Structures are given as C-alpha cells and as structure tokens.
Structure 1
C-alpha cells in the first residue's frame, strides 16, 4: 500500500566524508528513500543532517537501537523533523532478555505517532507487534518466501525489505563480500533463529553456506538484482531498500539507477 510514501526502491547509505553530497545524488538518481543503518548512527543528528541535505527523499534509520537512545532523545528528533513530512522512525531491539517487553515499554514512553514508526521484525510475535503498535515492519536478511509470510501476518500494514546487494558477477568475490556482515549477524540470536525458521540448517548458518548466502544476499548484474527486488515486491513488500556491500553506496547507486527508473 505504501502508506508512508516511501515509493518502490530506496537505498542504504554509509557515513563518509561525502555522505550528504552522496545522499543528494542518490535522490537525483530516483531513489525515493535514503536509509541510515543503525551501526552508522553514532549520533541522532546525522538523520537531521540527511533530511536537511535532501529535498524529496524520505529519510529512515534502519534502525535506531532502543538500547542506545532513550525515548526522550528519539522523540526530540522526531519533533524536530516531523514538519518536513520526510522522516519515518525505524526502531529495533533491544538485544536483551525479553526484548518484546522492553520494546513495549519503549513505545509506551515514546511521543511519536504509531503511523510514523516502523519496527525491525522477523518472527511472528514481533510482526504482530509491528502491525498493532506501528505502521509496519522492516525485515533484514530474508528471502521472498519470508516476505510472503510476513505480508500475511501484517495484513495491510507497511512491509519493508532491507536487501543486501553486491554488484559483482564473480561468485567468489560476491560471496566474500556477502559473508563479511553475515559472519557477525549470523551470531545474533534473532537472526539465527529466523534463518532456521526459513528452513536453513545449523550447518548452513555455522558455515555460512553458499545456499544461505545466495538466498539472503543478491549478487550479480543489475538484472539479477532487479529479479530479486521483483520477487519481494510480488510476495508483498511495499518497499525494498538496497543495502550495497563491497562497494560504496554512491558507486552501487549509480550502477543500480536503471533499476530504479524501470520500477516507476
């Protein structure tokens, strides 16, 4: 439904000396949203900087970690940016025992309208929470089969898929780039649990098998990447975020710009 006005395809951007200029160029290339990964958010002001540096793209953190920034800090940021109409709050975590209870408490204390919040969600309980307490969900490291199941859980709520991409046709180089973030993320309990729910084995996860890598990270030509985006969209994703690996966001964005044009 695209109830947040995110458009079809966004792109994730890393902080660099030129990231604000890069965001402007990515916007000019047709990306309708620019996402800042949680690991890049060393200060919430970076999100405000991105909003001010751009004119049309919606800016979304994926995600603000709730065990790092308080509801008060996050609420102040939203108040500062809400008048632009181009900021959506992506939240995730906490990485603690009973994470659902902690996230419920955070939302109770957060002065941000639910219809401007997206929750990182993978399992059925978190997806239900995203449906009830937010505008929808963000899924990372998922396949189109997961997307179809998530769509069923969410009903008409927003569904965003954050898709790792490697613009590289050599299998060894592409998979090496993919395994860099996977080597850490596969140790995070929530991701590992979801990999197993999606039908991967413990051996797939422990060894970061080609089967796992190829299902979760799309690599190859622009046509190969476009096919995966289409698969997620047909499975029910409202918005797909391209998260480049092995190349800068701006280099990947330039290479993938034709995909954005063809999606409109």
Structure 2
C-alpha cells in the first residue's frame, strides 16, 4: 500500500461536532495530495464509521487508524469492518493497532502481556472469514520486540512521540522493506515560547503517561525533561515548530533517519478543525 511520504494526523477529524464540515475538510485535504489521513483511537467508539466518513469524502488518500486499541475493539469486528470498507472504497484503509497500557488491558478483563496479546489479535485477524491483509495493517511499536513483530506480521509501524534517532534504531530492526510512519506534532509558529506552549497543550498529557514516559526515558530524556508538561529540550526534540520551511526541514530529518512516511499533527491554539494550519502545511503534502 502506497501512502506517500507525508500525511495528516488529526483527532479533530473524529471529534469535531459538525460531520459535514469534517467531510468538506477531508475533501480539501485530499485535493492537497496528502498520502494519508490518520485518525487516533481515542477512547474507542465507532472508529471504522469515522473512517468511512473520510473515505466517502475523498478519492485518493488512504485513511489510517493511528491507532485503535486492541482492548477496545475485537479482532472479529475490525476484520469484518475492514473488509466492508475495502469493498466500498478500495485498498485505502490501513488498520493501525496498539496495545495501549496495563489499565486498558485490565478494564477489558485481560492481562497486560503486549507481545502475546498482539500476536493473538493478529492471529484472529488472519483467521477471520475475510482476513485483514498483512500490508493493510500496522503496529504502534515503541520497543524492539514489538518492532520485530511489526516487521514479521504487518506492513510496519507507527511510533508516537519519537526522535529521528529512535527512527534510525527502528529502521535497523525493521530492515529495508516495512513501513515506518512516525507521528510528528507540528506547530506553525516561529515564536519559541508561544509555539512550545501550544505544543504542550496537547503533548503534555501523553508525556506523563507511563508507557510514553518510559519510551522517552529510553530515548535519552530524564525525569526532569518529562516533568511539568515537558522541558524545552524534550518539546524541541519531538515537536516540529516554526515556519513551514523549518517544519519541512524537520520532516526531512525523520525521512533521512529511515522513515518512509511522516504523519503530521497540526496543533492549533484555537478550537475546531485546524484548517488554517492545514492550508499552511499543504506544500508539504507528497
């Protein structure tokens, strides 16, 4: 599946109240030439229904779940839904899967054994009446074991809040072929203090979560970097901010490190769909 070099990652494409405006925005983004529109799993809900809305509004872009929790959606439900969307919209659906954290597993009545749980989930996708093809699913992998699994059993991996150095390490594990499509938060603002404040408005919640904090520690950040919404050093390392040209240079560092696609999350200081930022970033669609 070819999803181009860049895409847009957006919770607003699920959360915005006006579904007609979501469809209109998706059609505009499709015309810009983005390779994929990524929607996060959030707390569950009808993620395939939300994907269907985007697919119906677009002609070319892939719609990817980035990512749905295996604890909130059964493999059987996802396989059946994926098959239905593929029949209606062609091969434009990429199913991103994540193991989330121990709390999510416990709330679903399961044990948090990420590797075993994901292997089992992938087995069930393979055993479904209409299996999800390996090249139409990928894994949110933050550690080497899950990255190895992603290389063997999916199209690749979609890591969250990572540096180019992380990407280089992941590429070494994946080998040359698999998709490596990191999330990258972006703020179109060249004022350092204002841009960092805007970035923290979204990423600070995730920085404080246990599994992401551990990932950031493995990437070389300290407890002081993770505290209080993230140090300037951490924010500058995992968020691209500045002019569009500056952001483009940061995207290139991920591609040079081994990424095949970068999913850009335009963080805006305003509520609603960040259409102004999306239009500013349109030259980066490819």
TM-score by length of 1: 0.93
2:65 aligns with 61
For residue 34 of structure 2, give the secondary structure of its aligned residue in structure 1: coil
Q: Structure 1 residues 38 and 249 mapped into 2: Cα distance closer, same or farther (>3 Å)?
A: farther
- Partner of 1:24 in structure 2? 27
* In 2: Cα distance, 1:158 partner to 1:182 partner: 24
Matching residue of 2:6: 9
**Unpaired segments ≥5 residues, structure 2:** 103-111, 126-130
Note the C-alpha offset of 1:150: 0.8
Pairing partner for 1:215 from 230, 234, 237:
237
Q: How many residues align?
A: 258
| Selected match of 2:283 from 249, 258, 262 | 258
1:243 matched to 2:265? The reply is yes
Shift of 1:133: 1.3
Q: What is the CA–CA distance in structure 2 between the aligned matches of 1:145 and 1:41, rounded to whole Å? A: 31
Q: Does 2:92 match 1:86?
A: yes
Q: CA distance change for structure 1 residues 191 and 94 in 2, over 3 Å: closer, same or farther?
A: closer
Moved more, 234-243 or 80-89: 80-89
Structure 1 Cα separation of the partners of residues 60 and 274 of structure 2: 18
RMSD of aligned residue pairs (Cα, Å)? 1.5
2:153 is aligned with 1:105: no
How far does residue 235 in structure 1 lie from its aligned partner after superposition?
0.8
Relative to the length of structure 2, the TM-score reads 0.86
Deviates more, 1:187-196 or 1:60-69: 187-196
How do 1:61-210 residues align onto structure 2 when only pairs under 5 Å count? 61-83=65-87, 84-96=90-102, 97-110=112-125, 111-155=131-175, 156-207=177-228, 208-210=230-232
8 Å Cα contact 2:71-2:99 kept in structure 1? yes
Are the aligned partners of 1:26 and 1:250 in contact in 2 as well (CA < 8 Å)?
Answer: no
Distance 1:234 1:121 in 2: 20
Cα distance in 2 between the residues matched to 1:206 and 1:100: 29
